[in-house]
């Protein structure tokens, strides 16, 4: 069984039976059979149906918000994910005509030479639990709009999300075989990929999970898009707006109990501002209310699973044993399980796991740096590269720094945000490929060239 253990109280919130290998192959075959007719529909019709599906998800939001709290612990006070879900899908719908337009090289009496973008066929989307709607829609919406059929496999922690999306899109008129939510175990998923069941696979999750996807696809030449781990840095320059930097970076480190793909996990501060920044950071975190996510007063819910919290506790304990200072006393609501005290650490070094390995929890290490060169070196001293956040009043300085950071996205004076107009991408162990933007469409289609001699 695939079971969702609610972080609220450790009870089984939902369980589903995974498909057998035979049934899984049959459902993929249905998707493949339906895809050509879907791709043959006018682009405007596909866009309208996807938009309607998105709107249907929005109509369910009052039910979805407490479901998310039960499944992965996010407090209901934040209202769910529909704002970002709608923003991303709407942007991709708006640019679809331009992104998928034919590239006309020549259209004369003698020749028609054109490059078209054609769908891969069936796209497998393997989505994570931390932002289960927004991460899924990043690929689901453009893949469907581009003419692909989509098979969605959601994380076991958030099984109701895929069902909600499937219900919403089918009610809008997207054919059942064209968009399918499936429950699969790891072995069956790997077998499907190895059997060339999909034209493209998009995976968001852990580094070991991404490696498993690549191993399954080895030799099949199936395209694989991967967004894996992160250890995203923030750098507070000596001319930064200190209040804004502290507020945004600490929120980026702690929101959603630190369970954000592009959450801030390490912060480097110009020496002159270091003490003041730490003081502000500690004050912010000390004001959080840890508790049941169904309580509107709760600002910090439990981590999605007790074992995730145990990883963070271990990193913090090791750092303190090695000389780091923990600034936040244990909260009364910290139960030693999924409910975890958020933590600010100083006196940390890059020899500590908490500064090198992904924490994916409410902890951040803060270090002083003497100048931009040291900050750049520290930011690049990581196996990961998803985003980085630079705080300065000087845009030219920020761009100069950004040019030297090994990462997928660089923010100036903001953090922890996904702009659908820009390619969402990473480097190093964070993965490869790119979602959203024009490039997202390019990755969900393949170029096909036509060289037509008329005379």
Residue 223, token pair as written in the block: 């395209």
Catalytic residue among 4, 237, 260, 261: 261
DSSP-based three-state secondary structure for 423: coil
What ranges make up the beta strands (E) of 58-148? 103-107, 111-119, 122-127
The DSSP code sequence of 259-275 is --TT-EEEEEEEGGGHH
CB 265 within 8 A of CB 359: yes
DSSP-based three-state secondary structure for 36: helix
The CA–CA distances, whole Å, from 203 to 48, 185, 189, 223, 421 equal 26, 15, 12, 11, 20
Give the closest residue to 340 by CA, choosing from 310, 297, 299.
Answer: 310
Residue 293, token pair as written in the block: 């996510």
Q: Known catalytic residue: 427? A: no
CA distance 27 to 5: 27
CB neighbours of 63 closer than 8 A, spacing ≥ 6?
Answer: none
H/E stretch holding 170: helix 159-172
The CA–CA distances, whole Å, from 359 to 265, 317, 370 equal 7, 13, 26
Catalytic residue among 67, 227, 265, 358: 227
Q: Known catalytic residue: 227? A: yes
Rg (CA), the chain: 23
CB 323 within 8 A of CB 289: no
CA distance 255 to 361: 9
- Active site (catalytic) residues: 227, 261
């Amino acid at each position: 069984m695939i079971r969702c253990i609610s972080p609220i109280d450790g009870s089984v919130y939902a369980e589903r039976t995974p498909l057998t290998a035979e049934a899984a192959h049959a459902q993929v075959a249905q998707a493949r059979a339906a895809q050509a007719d879907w791709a043959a529909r006018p682009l405007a019709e596909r866009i309208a149906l996807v938009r309607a599906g998105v709107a249907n998800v929005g109509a369910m939001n009052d039910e979805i918000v407490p479901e998310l709290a039960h499944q992965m612990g996010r407090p209901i006070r934040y209202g769910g994910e529909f704002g970002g879900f709608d923003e991303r899908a709407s942007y991709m719908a708006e640019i679809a005509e331009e992104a998928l337009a034919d590239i006309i090289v020549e259209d004369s009496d003698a020749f028609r030479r054109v490059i078209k973008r054609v769908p891969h066929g069936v796209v497998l989307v393997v989505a994570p639990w931390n932002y289960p709607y927004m991460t899924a829609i990043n690929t689901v919406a453009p893949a469907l709009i581009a003419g692909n059929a989509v098979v969605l496999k959601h994380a076991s922690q958030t099984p109701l999300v895929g069902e909600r999306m499937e219900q919403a899109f089918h009610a809008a008129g997207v054919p059942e075989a064209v968009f399918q939510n499936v429950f699969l175990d790891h072995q069956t998923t790997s077998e499907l990929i190895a059997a060339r069941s999909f034209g493209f696979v998009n995976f968001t999750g852990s580094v070991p999970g991404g490696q498993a996807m690549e191993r399954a696809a080895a030799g099949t030449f199936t395209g694989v898009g991967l967004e894996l781990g992160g250890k995203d840095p923030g750098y507070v320059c000596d001319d930064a707006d200190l209040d804004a930097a502290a507020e945004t970076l600490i929120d980026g480190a702690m929101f959603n109990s630190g369970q954000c793909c592009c959450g801030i996990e390490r912060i480097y501060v110009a020496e002159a501002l270091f003490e003041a920044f730490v003081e502000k950071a500690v004050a912010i975190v000390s004001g959080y209310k840890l508790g049941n996510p169904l309580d509107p007063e709760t600002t910090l819910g439990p981590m999605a699973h007790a074992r995730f919290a145990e990883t963070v506790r271990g990193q913090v304990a090791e750092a303190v044993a090695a000389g780091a200072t923990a600034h936040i006393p244990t909260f009364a609501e910290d139960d030693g399980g999924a409910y975890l005290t958020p933590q600010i650490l100083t006196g940390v070094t890059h020899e500590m796991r908490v500064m090198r390995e992904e924490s994916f929890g409410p902890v951040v290490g803060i270090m002083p740096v003497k100048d931009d060169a040291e900050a750049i070196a520290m930011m690049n001293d990581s196996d990961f590269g998803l985003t980085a956040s630079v705080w300065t009043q000087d845009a030219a300085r920020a761009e100069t720094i950004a040019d030297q950071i090994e990462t997928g996205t660089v923010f100036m004076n903001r953090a922890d945000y996904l702009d659908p107009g820009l390619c969402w991408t990473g480097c190093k162990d964070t993965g490869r490929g790119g979602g959203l933007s024009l490039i997202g469409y390019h990755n969900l289609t393949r170029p096909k060239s036509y060289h037509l001699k008329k005379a």
